[in-house]
Amino acid sequence: MNEISSFTFEDTVVKYISDKTGQIGLVLVPAALETCIADYRTTLNDVPEAAAIPFAVDMPARAVDSLIQLKCTGDAYAGGFAQGRTMRCGQSVTSMKYQSQKVETTADATIITTILIREGCYRCSHILTHYNGEKTFDIYTVFENISAADINLEMLSSFSLDGITPFDKADASEKLYLHRFRSTWSSEGRHDCRSFEDMQLENSWLGICSASERFGQVGSQPVRGFFPFIAVEDRSKGVFWGAQLAWPGTWQMEAFRRQDAAAISGGIGDREFGHWVKTITPGKSFTTPTATVAAAVGGIDTICQRLTGAHKRRMADIPQIEKDMPIVFNEWCTTWGAPAEATLLKIADRIKDTHIKYLVIDAGWYAQDGTTWGQAQGDWLISKRFFPNGLKSAADGIRSRGLIPGIWFEFETAGPLSIACRQLDHLFLKRDGFTIVSGERRFWDFRKPEVIEYLTERVIDLLEDCGFGYLKVDYNETIGIGADGDQSQGESLRAHIEAVQGFFRRIKQRLPQLVIENCSSGGHRLEPSMLALTSMSSFSDAHETKEIPIVAANLHRLVLPVQSQIWAVLREKDTLQRTRYSLAATFLGRMCISGDILTINDEQFELMKRYQQLYRDCRSIIRDGFTHRFGPELQSVRHAKGWQAVLRVLPDNSRALLVVHSFDAPVPDGVRIELPFRGWKIAECLKDDSIGLIAGGNILDINFGSTYSSAVAVLSLDGKIIG
């Protein structure tokens, strides 16, 4: 292996390497372990089975895996049983040669551009950016057609990391583990960890098999099945390599192995996985979505929070009011799709003297006589039954009570009883000539200028005319493999989704102080590019289930808590213990209240206000802290047993927030947690009487007195117990 260049940023060394094949690879190494890089074996001559084969002499044990992976129509696949399993490492990759590398420094970043070229055919630019002070790297790829003919792309990676692991001289047997996060409706972010051996990703005895675990999702809900995340752990060294992809459409990740070292890559779903083929005409180019990558010494929380930390930079243009982390009230679990003006103003009167700032009108405000909230969407005509004085009257009434009015849209779809569905069918996405229908929803084709004009009038104009300060954007179905167009169905889907994000930018440009909530049946759009376009995101559709604390804690590894909206649905029938349980969960992100706000008793209402005050006191910890999670691995989320504790610590260790929940039996009488710091006391606490908390030195003792109990505590160097 030859080193082309090496750069050190913060605690990570970035190495560009090559070998006699001419391939260029990208390797990340924690700087503290650079001296631990192994002296690799170069051949498989020490493998007895290989040595017995005359033509297998000097079979390479490790070769460079290209930092750019692509496949063009007509080029050979990689061999080694690759087709249908991976499109990596074929002729399109091996035909490229290294041309140059350029390093640029700006006031806030260093940009490394590495150019590979296939003479007379195409040029690929690999762009790696390090932002000052961050411990991650943003990577994307630009493909340019430098030939005189069209080129059909079937796969193009956003990133590819090679050399996993550099700390073993051979094939790192029983040392490598693949980490992913699974997701399904109302149960997002389940951690999945399996050894390379379990995944059948260990090197074959002759090193010729193209082993790949390719996973992702197909359609327009990017967090449906998996999050766009991948990490590999070298358990012998405690090192992780990880990546997050910023793309809300069809995507894929791959863990790939053909010899001793493994590689990970990802990007838009390819032809085999995502039905994607894109034609690049002469002189034109195509740029992939951006991936954020990192290497870290530590555990899964370390690599995850290193990656999500990059989201902070993308939040630079959020509305000013969001920096105060206001509390939300959403009336969905109050009116269930019947948000009449009179009811909304009663809610506003009830909450106006609390710490709640946003009052959001959810679905149903447009429902016409004879339709439901899901059937009428698409026209966005104000319901005279619910709003006889018009929607602006309700918004003005909310503002007059010191609250910011918000409203719900699902503007990318239309229901079957809408006028749009009957009269504007030519503006909906088609597949094989037929309008795509999923359940009852049709999907506007955002590639059409008429759709943008229509929705600008029905959505943006309404927001501005009525004076809304908050927009909840929901999205409750997936388009699937793609739509008709002049290229592939996968490319049509990509172009449509790119246009959808363009419409979000149009909203932000027109109404820069509008707070936008990203929702997709709860958490189906929790990926970096949608998070960057919005102020916060609905964490799940779990609403008022007992698994809310589990899902909310899961998402600390994938979404910044400052952007993760957690619901506490308060019911008049709830005991005070249940009320505390619900409110405590909101400290795992952004607090949102819903439910029987008009009929809960005074004791419940005052308890809500006390939790809101404590929430206001610890906003900086929620926004800026690092999360540590304690408790047993929970097998079932729906029927969880045991307990969990989430500790979020400020970077300077000045304060910490502790959120504790017990679930169904069996629950231990007590547990002892070793804190990652010393000398702390409980400064503020709201908890059930059945729970005991004692902090001393670096030990925290939790005594559980019952199932489904909770506690929220702020720890500091000196403090007294309150509550």
The string of DSSP codes covering 314-331 is HTTTS-GGGGG--EEEE-
User: What pLDDT score was predicted for residue 679?
Assistant: 83
Say yes or no to pLDDT of 723 above 50: no
* Whole-number pLDDT of residue 721: 39
User: What percent of the chain has a predicted confidence (pLDDT) above 90?
Assistant: 90
Residue 105 pLDDT class (50, 70, 90 cuts)? very high
Q: Which fold has domain 627-716?
A: Immunoglobulin-like (2.60.40)
Residue 17 is predicted with a pLDDT of: 97
Task: Kindly report the average pLDDT of the chain as a whole number.
Answer: 95
- The per-residue pLDDT for range 617-627, each reduced to its tens digit, is 999 999 999 99
Asked whether the predicted pLDDT for residue 81 surpasses 60, the reply is yes
Under the banding of pLDDT at 50, 70 and 90, the label for residue 516 is very high
Q: State pLDDT tens for residues 234-272.
A: 999 999 999 999 999 999 999 999 999 999 999 999 999
Is 56's pLDDT higher than 80? Answer: no
Note the helical H segments in 401-448: 419-423
Superfamily of domain 2-314: alpha-galactosidase from lactobacil brevis (2.70.98.60)
566 confidence band (pLDDT: 50, 70, 90): very high
Please state the rounded mean pLDDT for residues 438-454: 97
Crossing angle for the helix pair 391-400 and 341-351, nearest 10 degrees? 10
**pLDDT, mean of residues 582-589:** 98
Judge whether 221 and 524 are in contact, CB under 8 Å. yes
Element spanning 52, H or E: none
Select 320-538's CATH number: 3.60.60.10, 3.20.80.10, 3.20.20.70, 3.30.450.20. Answer: 3.20.20.70
pLDDT in tens, 156-214: 999 999 999 999 999 999 999 999 999 999 999 999 999 999 999 998 888 888 899 99
Lowest-confidence region among 263-267, 412-416, 614-618, 650-654: 650-654
Please check the confidence at residue 405 and state whether its pLDDT lies above 70.
Answer: yes
329 pLDDT above the threshold of 50 = yes
Is 442 strand, coil or helix?
Answer: strand
Can you give the pLDDT at residue 46? 83
Which pTM does this prediction carry? 0.96
What's residue 718's pLDDT? 61
Q: What are the sequence ranges of the domains in the chain?
A: 2-314, 320-538, 627-716
Asked if the model's pLDDT at residue 60 lies above 90, the reply is no
Q: Distance from CA of residue 144 to its chain's centroid?
A: 29
pLDDT of residue 720: 42
Mean pLDDT to the nearest integer, 76-88: 93
pLDDT at 115 over 50: yes
Mean pLDDT value across residues 573-595 = 98
Coil, helix or strand for 421?
A: helix
Could you report the per-residue pLDDT of 362-384, keeping only the tens digit for each? 999 999 988 888 899 999 999 99
> What is each CA distance from 66 to 90, 126, 190, 530, 623, in whole angstroms?
11, 11, 31, 29, 38
The answer to whether 242 and 154 are in contact (CB under 8 A) is: no
| Predicted pLDDT of residue 406 | 98
Predicted confidence (pLDDT) at residue 557 exceeds the cutoff of 60: yes
What pLDDT score does 722 carry? 36
Residue 509 CB contacts under 8 Å (≥ 6 apart), including other chains: none
Q: Is pLDDT at 692 greater than 80 in this prediction? A: yes
Residue linked to tokens 């709830």 = 574
Share of residues in the chain with pLDDT > 70 (%): 99
CA 705, CA 687: separation in Å to the nearest integer?
12
Where are the alpha helices (H) located in 245-372, listed in sequence order?
Answer: 271-274, 300-309, 311-314, 332-335, 341-351
